[in-house]
Amino acid sequence: MYYIVLREQKVTDTPQVSELVRNAYNSNIINTFYGGLFNETTFQTMIILSAILFIFFQVKLVYCLCTIPIVLLLMYVAIYAAITMKSAQLMYEKKPLKSWVAEAYEPYFFTKNPNICWYKIITEREVENLEIKPEGKRQIIGTVAVMKHFHHPEWAWLFRLAVDVRYRRKGIASRLVNTVQDWCKDNQFNRIDLAMTECQEGARQLFDKTGFETKQLYHKTLFTKAYMMQMYLLTCEVRPTFH
């Protein structure tokens, strides 16, 4: 049995957290790209470019079809750049009120695949009560942060939830979300909001299980106004409100 300890983030954790967030968000690139393949704008762009080459430049039709892989490549590059910039924005532009990490304790010469290992998730306070303390190599494999809401002083905004792909489906993300909920309740926040994309189906299921509900659907520009991504605004009441 191995341990994963939930604790508050320290300044020295920033490099590991930054890499973790970047890798976690980059894992959504393929799903976003597949979504773009069936976007009406993608097909229109291919057809228009092919027509321009064929009609105005007298390019043979077979060569005009080369616009298809070119458009797909440009779309992938644009998606990669947009998601990478978003992960950097989450790390360095948004200022959290509080942030937490999940830190795995494993042997120094750990050769097993984390997917097949069993981990016990505990807090720093619970570590103090253990007779045998967790030892070994420590690695940050999860993180989450919370900040003040943009529109209401008694609401909080959850962001930067990320878990290393090798450690997913072990309950880590749920415990991190529960930690945010408990902290918000103790600090007089009535509600937590967050936003997520249509490509994060696994995350939506997680938030459903932790008490979040879909509040609003809207569209957000991905890299041009021609490409719009559906977004979900989720909300969770953590303290009863009276009007």
**Identity of the highest mean pLDDT range in 3-7, 27-31, 75-79:** 3-7
Question: Do 176 and 226 contact (CB within 8 A), yes or no?
Answer: no
Report the distance separating Cα 59 and Cα 212, nearest Å.
54
CA distances from 155 to 9, 192, 213, 217, 231 (A): 22, 6, 15, 19, 20
Distance of CA 131 to the CA centre of its chain: 36
pLDDT digits (tens, 9 = 90+) for 42-52: 888 888 888 88
User: How does pLDDT run across 118-148, given as a tens digit for each residue?
Assistant: 999 999 999 988 888 888 999 999 999 999 9
| pLDDT attached to residue 226 | 58
CA distance 160 to 28: 14
Q: Can you tell me the mean pLDDT for 5-31?
A: 93
Top CATH class, 2-237: alpha beta
Q: What confidence tens digit (pLDDT) does each residue in 76-118 have?
A: 898 888 888 888 888 888 889 999 999 999 998 888 999 999 9
Q: What is the pLDDT of residues 59-81, one digit of tens each?
A: 888 888 888 899 899 888 988 88
Phi and psi (nearest 5°) for 63? -80, -30
What token pair was written down for 194? Answer: 């967050």
> Would you give the distance in Å from CA 103 to the centre of its chain?
18
Question: Residue 243: is its pLDDT beyond 50?
Answer: no
- The Cα-based distances of 58 to 46, 52, 119, 235 in angstroms read 17, 9, 64, 55
Domain limits of the chain? 2-237
Question: In sequence order, what are the residues at sequence separation of 6 or more whose Cβ sits closer than 8 angstroms to the Cβ of residue 7?
Answer: 100, 101, 103, 123, 124
Determine the Cα angle at 11 with ends 10 and 16, to 5°: 85
Q: Which amino acid is at 234?
A: L
Percent of the chain with pLDDT over 90: 50
